[in-house]
Amino acid sequence: MEQSLKKFPTFILKNASLKKAVEFCKNELGLHDDNIFEFEQVKIDDVRYIRKQIEINDSKIQCYVLGKIGYDAQNAILRMIEEPPENRYFIFYVSDNLLDTVISRAQVVNLESGNNGIDLKIVDDILNGREKDVLLYLNSISKSEKEEIIDILTIISLHLIKSGAFERGGIVSKEVVAFKQFNLNPKIFLYALFVKLMRGH
C-alpha cells in the first residue's frame, strides 16, 4: 500500500459526508481508524496542526479528512498537496468552493456513481496484458464527454490500486491530472495512455 500513497495523495469526494469519507479511507485506501484524522471545519490552526503531525510522524501512514475549508486554509495546505509528503492522504469531502489549484491536483471521485456502469474486466485486461481488449475499451470511451472519461479512468485507477498494481494505478492517476489541466484530444490521449499502461507486455 505504501507505494500507492505517493501516487494518489489527494482525493475530492463528491456527494460525500464525513462518514462516507471515512469509509472511503477504510474501504478504498485500506486505512485504519487510528490513521484517520477528521476536520469538519478546517481552520488555519488545523493546517498548522497537520503540518506538525507530518513533521513529527514522518514514517506513519496518515489520512486527513477535510470538510468545509476556507480560501486561506486551502492556500496554506496547497504546498503539502503540491509536494505531497510520503505516506499521506488528503481527502476533501466538501467539494464546494475548492480552489482550481486544489482541484487540478486531486482525483475526483463521485461516490453516488458507483462504477459508472463500466465493465471492470478492463482492470483484469490491463493486469494480464490483453493489449487488444485494452485498446478496444479505451477507444470505445474516446467519444465520451471529458468528465465521463475522467470519472471512468479514476475508477479504473482505484481498482488497479486495490489489485496491488500501484505503478499502473500511478500512471493512470498522473495522466488523468494532465487530461484535466490541458485541452487534449481524447483519442490521442487515450492511445498514449494505452502505450504507457502496456509497456513491458
The per-residue pLDDT of the chain, averaged, comes to 86
pLDDT digits (tens, 9 = 90+) for 169-178: 989 989 998 8
Helices vs. strands in the chain: H and E counts, helices first: 10, 5
Domain assignment present for residue 184? The answer is: yes
Instruction: Tell me if residue 160 falls in helix, strand or coil.
Output: helix
Domain assignment present for residue 116? The answer is: no
Last-in-domain residue among 59, 89, 110: 110
> Which triple of cell numbers denotes residue 81?
498537496
Domain assignment present for residue 23? The answer is: yes
Backbone angles phi, psi at 83, to 5 degrees: -125, 75
Domain assignment present for residue 168? The answer is: yes
pLDDT means per 10 residues, the chain with 201 residues, are 51 89 86 91 94 77 92 92 84 90 83 65 92 93 89 88 87 90 92 89 53
pLDDT digits (tens, 9 = 90+) for 87-99: 889 999 998 889 9
What domain range includes position 68?
2-110
pLDDT digits (tens, 9 = 90+) for 23-40: 988 887 788 888 999 999
Give the H or E element holding residue 108: strand 107-110
Beta pairing class for 107-110 and 36-42: unpaired
